[in-house]
Amino acid sequence: MRIERLTLVDVEALTALDRIAQPHHSWPAAHFESALSQAASYQVWGIREDDELVGFAVLALQPFDGELEMIAVSPAQRRKGMGRRLLDHCIAQARNESKERVLLEVRSGNAEAVALYEQAGFIRDGRRRDYYPLADGKREDALLMSLRLV
């Protein structure tokens, strides 16, 4: 199991993994291409097992903060610590880049992700009502969370 920075050659594997990891909220390949093409603004980290991509995280570098745009692990590989390893890696990278905080937004109903972030020390800063559209036409709140680095 190793973490490595992904590049444009990984777009296909990333898009395929994202589709199975979060089928209702996956990114189009163009979003990944865009992030992978802007190395100064985005870091895309992947975790492989036996050469197969099984998890990834996208960290956006803003002027003062890092923002975790996405983190996902293959359903077959969950609860083995990979999400936490990817998250810790992104936090360390943001710290290396002298960022003040790591920020993120998460669906209020995504209990696994909220538990992961809280276990890593993120706190809840607020809530955006009805932020995310749902498949049934309803909407779901976003929780705004942050981890202070300095």
Give the per-residue contact string, 48-77, with ligand COA (x = CB under 6 A; - = no): ----------------------xxxx----
Report the distance separating Cα 75 and Cα 118, nearest Å.
21
Least CB distance from residue 123 to ligand COA, whole Å? Answer: 15
Report the distance separating Cα 114 and Cα 98, nearest Å.
25
Q: Choose one: 35-43, 91-99, 108-116, 137-145; the region binding ligand COA (CB under 6 A).
A: 108-116
132 is annotated as an active-site residue: no
| Residue 108 or 110 having the CB closest to ligand COA | 110
| Residue 95 or 132 having the CB closest to ligand COA | 132
| Residue 82 or 98 having the CB closest to ligand COA | 82
67 is annotated as an active-site residue: no
* Residue 119 binds ligand COA (CB under 6 A): yes
Name residues whose C-beta falls within 8 Å of residue 78's C-beta, 6 or more positions apart in sequence: 112
Name residues whose C-beta falls within 8 Å of residue 108's C-beta, 6 or more positions apart in sequence: 114, 127, 140, 141, 142, 143
| Residue 14 or 72 having the CB closest to ligand COA | 72
* Residue 31 binds ligand COA (CB under 6 A): no
Reduced to 3 DSSP states, what percent helix, strand and coil does the chain have, rounded to the nearest 5?
35, 40, 25
In 3D space, the residue among 11, 114, 95, 101 whose CA is nearest the CA of residue 56 turns out to be 11
Query: What's at 3, amino acid-wise?
Result: I
In 3D space, the residue among 86, 5, 93 whose CA is nearest the CA of residue 44 turns out to be 5
Residues belonging to the active site: 105, 117
Binding site for ligand COA (CB under 6 A): 21-22, 70-73, 78-84, 106, 110-113, 115-116, 119
